[in-house]
Chain A
Amino acid sequence: MSDIEQIPVTMTVNGKKVQRFVEARTLLIHFLREELNLTGPHIGCETSHCGACTVEMNGMSVKSCTLFAVQANAAELTTIEGMANADGTLSALQEGFRQMHGLQCGFCTPGMITRAHRLLQENPNPTEDEIRMGISGNLCRCTGYQNIVKAIQYAAAKLNGTEFQEAAE
């Protein structure tokens, strides 16, 4: 095994520069979880469907089970571990998920929050439909999505300085 070529990679993960040697076939999710001990991004399906492994890479939401770590060389990455505010308080999205009951088992939550973060960067005032399409690459087996949508609306309102109004059901 030891004669498999080891390739140097350097990336910035949650603001910190990291440098490691990896096999070319190492998937980014395994690199994050096993090399960097960032176990926030989850492995749900391993087949590019569920979005539990979603991380932010160079301003894109990506499924880290479907990228090689070498493809992330020189990239800027953020995982759920890097989503809280700089002072350690919960970000608007994290607060929204807590307040609106946007999680039950929590397995999908790191991917959901990371994805929703990028969605709100690109579209600070999304409609409900845009939120649902925006998180269509993330599956949740518990919530039925209703409260996830509300959590994202809560965060959008907070970030826009407006008041969150829960739509009547």
Chain B
Amino acid sequence: MIPGVFTYHRPSSVAEAVAILANHGDEARPLSGGHSLIPMMKLRMAAPEHLVDLGGIAALKGISEDGDTITIGAMTTQHELIGSDLLSAKLPIIRETALMIADPQIRYVGTLGGNVANGDPGNDMPALMQCLDASYVLTGPDGDRQVAARAFYEAAYFTALAPEEILTSIRIPVPAAGHGYAYEKLKRKVGDYATAAAAIVLTMNGGTVGMCSVALTNVADTPLFASEAGDILTGSTLDAATVKRAVAAAEAITQPASDGRGPAEYRTKMAGVMVERALARAAERARS
């Protein structure tokens, strides 16, 4: 379990990091927390020739609020997300989700940027970012561009990120005060990736749903934004028939693999169950 040989770079600015990536193209990879990449390197499933450690770039850390947008630096760790008062007040679903990722040791080191850039359908943050309609700021040799989380994921480990780009921050529109939220994750044990998981954010006006956003983790080779399920629920009173239709719409877009977490049919059904539970909890938490 010894990784292959590589050249180690530790730039102190984003520009420097991007220049190194641009020089080495596909042979180079950014290293954030390393808690997805190093296990792959130990298994020799990844063997980058150059590692660009982003740990020395202070500008990539931190959480800030600007008007209706919260910006989270890519190198912000899951532990820091959990401890953030700003996120607990404005985007509590991030804390709820982060607490379901891996275990304390991994959360001290694993970063939000690494989690969303990785492209592993098992990661929990990508679906959450789709649910929240976040965008990713990608910085390359020609400057910044923004890609919506909902348009970022192409296939397992294939994303809109170019080899010479770094994901530098995540921008999240703040949901309305009093919104309801829930991340429901079925897993076999602490530290496991999801058998299926669902993220929901909604608002309630009296007894009707003002807006509702639904996304799913680990039931396809990318995270899934379940737009139809959200549309069905919007404007409804969350009556049983409508919930049933929305759950069916969410299940219909899943394409899970059959693996140690269960056969595909089971995981599709569990995605539906997670949507139903998340919906109930989100509605209960919403203030109208």
B241 nearest CB across to chain A (Å) = 38
Pairwise interchain contact B79-A66, C-beta atoms closer than 8 A: no
- With both beta carbons as reference points, the residue of chain A lying nearest to B41 in the complex is identified as A25
Pairwise interchain contact B79-A60, C-beta atoms closer than 8 A: yes
Pairwise interchain contact B8-A115, C-beta atoms closer than 8 A: no
Contacts of A74-122 to chain B: CB distance below 8 A: 115, 119
Q: In the complex, A51→B5 CA distance in Å?
A: 25
Contacts of A8-65 to chain B: CB distance below 8 A: 23-25, 27, 46-49, 51, 54, 60-63, 65
Pairwise interchain contact A71-B105, C-beta atoms closer than 8 A: no
Q: In the complex, A133→B34 CA distance in Å?
A: 23
Question: Is B96 on the interface with A (CB-CB < 8 A)?
Answer: no
Pairwise interchain contact A67-B38, C-beta atoms closer than 8 A: yes
Best-surrounded residue of B4, B7, B41, B42 (most CB of chain A within 10 A): B42
In the bound complex, residues from chain B placing their C-beta under 8 Å from that of A23 are 5
Instruction: Say yes or no: A66-B39 contact (C-beta < 8 A), given A24-B7, A46-B1.
Output: yes
Pairwise interchain contact B34-A66, C-beta atoms closer than 8 A: yes
Q: In the complex, A5→B49 CA distance in Å?
A: 13
Pairwise interchain contact B7-A137, C-beta atoms closer than 8 A: no
Contacts of B86-107 to chain A: CB distance below 8 A: 102-106
How many A-B contacts if CB must be within 8 Å? 82
Pairwise interchain contact A66-B38, C-beta atoms closer than 8 A: yes
B8 nearest CB across to chain A (Å) = 4
Instruction: Say yes or no: A47-B105 contact (C-beta < 8 A), given A24-B6, A25-B5.
Output: no
Instruction: Say yes or no: A63-B7 contact (C-beta < 8 A), given A48-B35, A71-B34.
Output: no
Question: Is A167 on the interface with B (CB-CB < 8 A)?
Answer: no
Best-surrounded residue of A65, A68, A115 (most CB of chain B within 10 A): A68
Best-surrounded residue of B2, B79, B104 (most CB of chain A within 10 A): B104
Pairwise interchain contact A7-B8, C-beta atoms closer than 8 A: yes
Q: Could you list which residues of chain A lie within 8 angstroms of chain B, going by C-beta atoms?
A: 4-5, 7, 23-25, 27, 46-49, 51, 54, 60-63, 65-68, 70-71, 115, 119, 133-134, 136-137
Q: Could you list which residues of chain B lie within 8 angstroms of chain A, going by C-beta atoms?
A: 1-8, 10, 31, 34-35, 38-39, 41-42, 51, 53, 55, 79, 102-106, 108-109, 190-191
